């Protein structure tokens, strides 16, 4: 399996069941009993079986209870459902493939009917599921004009989701015990540190920002502030840094200096400055950082889009400043952004045209949280591919 690529999640097979994405005519259980589905049940978001209150007719008898979904039937035992009384009311075990000789049983000892879906899936869906996991893109080689349209729609959805994701990430580091101005600045600073730690030092950089926040450095000069950050990073604290395989511009010392300088500039900038248009306030903030501590053009664009705009959106929300909130979101949605080549490559290899979507960071969100995590059932491209 390729690094960073997951196998299909069980929730994909839950979606197949819930949406009836299989041939439901003349159903038979694996033991040969005729079966019909009156109600697929409701998805269970808590502990226990996947679907509750399903209604089935099996061999002329009505059944009412739960349905459990797995990719393979052996997962019933792997997940220890046979030892869990919460699964005693399961009336049907739905699997993609059956790899057991006998039907599974509940803790009470009752055998459960099994329905295998593999031979009943629509051909286009079956083809996509059979693509080996070492493929970077599950839908690679299945791109058509209709899927290109679906792809543009999906990247737009992912782009919007990514903004919400970055807003929530920023709020997760919001120190609510501080006054609003300081709390907002430090939540932004934490994100700046974290992003400057990409690719391998995000967590130590985030921890460093938290340690700096706990210190009273308001009277420091920029040089003193940077020196304290360096000392904390490499002498005082036991942070675990990754140095190997780093380009010179991404090595920890360089990034710590850049992050410390941005931190100092943010703390020194009056809150009123951040209430102006996103681009003008960002230029003012960046211009206050000396050249020797300035990040490269691509990294600064990444900081602006993935940290600064979500932070301004949060500030606008906190202050009921509609213009700031709306302008930050609008800038994110319509502005062309720098998307790294390593993000674009899998999509280009799969056959997609990136003329429109290649300037949206939602492409990175699509790759990480839809494609690599195999959340295909939530993707418009996947749905388009299996229904076209």
Give yes or no for a contact between 64 and 91, defined as CB atoms under 8 angstroms apart: yes
pLDDT of amino acid 221: 92
pLDDT of amino acid 1: 27
pLDDT of amino acid 169: 95
* 84 φ, ψ (degrees, to nearest 5): -115, 115
Q: 245-294: per-residue pLDDT in tens?
A: 778 888 999 999 999 999 999 999 999 999 999 999 999 999 999 999 99
Question: Nearest CA to 303 among 267, 253, 354, 337?
Answer: 337
* Calpha distance 5→22 (Å, rounded): 26
Give yes or no for a contact between 173 and 378, defined as CB atoms under 8 angstroms apart: no
Residues of the chain with pLDDT under 70: 1-9, 130-146, 219, 387-388
Residue 1 CB neighbour total at 10 angstroms: 10
pTM: 0.75
Question: HEC profile for 235-265?
Answer: HHCCCCCCCCCCCHHHCHHHHHHHHHHHHHH
Give yes or no for a contact between 27 and 115, defined as CB atoms under 8 angstroms apart: yes
- And the tokens for 197? 């730690």
Question: Nearest CA to 9 among 386, 380, 376, 369?
Answer: 376
pLDDT of amino acid 135: 53
Neighbouring C-alpha atoms within 13 Å toward the C-beta of 179:
3
Report the Cα–Cα distance between both ends of the chain, in Å, rounded.
Answer: 28
Looking at residue 198, the DSSP 8-state letter turns out to be T
């Amino acid at each position: 399996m390729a690094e960073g690529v997951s196998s299909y999640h069980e929730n994909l097979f839950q979606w197949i069941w819930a949406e009836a994405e299989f041939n439901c005519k003349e159903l038979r259980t694996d033991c040969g009993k005729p079966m019909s589905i009156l109600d697929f049940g409701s998805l269970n978001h808590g502990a226990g079986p996947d679907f509750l209150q399903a209604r089935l007719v099996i061999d002329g008898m009505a059944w009412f209870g739960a349905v459990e979904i797995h990719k393979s039937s052996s997962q019933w035992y792997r997940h220890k459902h046979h030892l869990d009384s919460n699964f005693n009311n399961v009336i049907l075990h739905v699997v993609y493939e059956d790899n057991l000789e006998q039907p599974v049983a509940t803790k009470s000892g009752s055998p459960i009917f099994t329905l295998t879906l593999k031979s009943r899936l629509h051909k286009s869906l079956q083809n996509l599921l059979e693509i080996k996991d070492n493929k970077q893109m599950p839908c690679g080689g299945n791109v058509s004009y209709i899927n290109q349209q679906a792809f543009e729609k999906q990247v737009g959805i992912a782009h919007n989701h990514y903004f919400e994701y970055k807003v929530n990430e920023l709020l997760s580091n919001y120190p609510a015990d501080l006054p609003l101005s300081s709390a907002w600045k430090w939540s932004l600073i934490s994100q700046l540190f974290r992003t400057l730690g990409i690719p391998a030092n995000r967590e130590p950089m985030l921890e460093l920002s938290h340690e700096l926040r706990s210190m009273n450095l308001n009277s420091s000069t920029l040089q003193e502030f940077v020196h304290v950050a360096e000392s904390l990073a490499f002498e005082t604290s036991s942070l675990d840094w990754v140095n190997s395989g780093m380009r010179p511009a991404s090595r920890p010392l360089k990034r710590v200096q850049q992050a410390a300088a941005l931190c100092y500039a943010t703390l020194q900038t009056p809150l009123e400055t951040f209430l102006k248009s996103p681009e003008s306030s960002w230029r003012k903030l960046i211009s206050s950082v000396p050249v020797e501590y300035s990040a490269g053009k691509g990294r600064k664009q990444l900081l602006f889009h993935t940290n600064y705009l979500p932070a301004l959106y949060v500030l606008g929300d906190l202050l009921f400043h509609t213009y700031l909130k709306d302008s930050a979101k609008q800038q994110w949605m319509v502005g062309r952004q720098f998307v790294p080549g390593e993000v674009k490559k899998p999509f280009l290899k799969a056959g997609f045209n990136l003329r429109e979507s290649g300037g949206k960071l939602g492409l990175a969100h699509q790759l990480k949280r839809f494609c690599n995590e195999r959340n295909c059932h939530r993707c418009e491209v996947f749905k388009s591919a299996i229904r076209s």
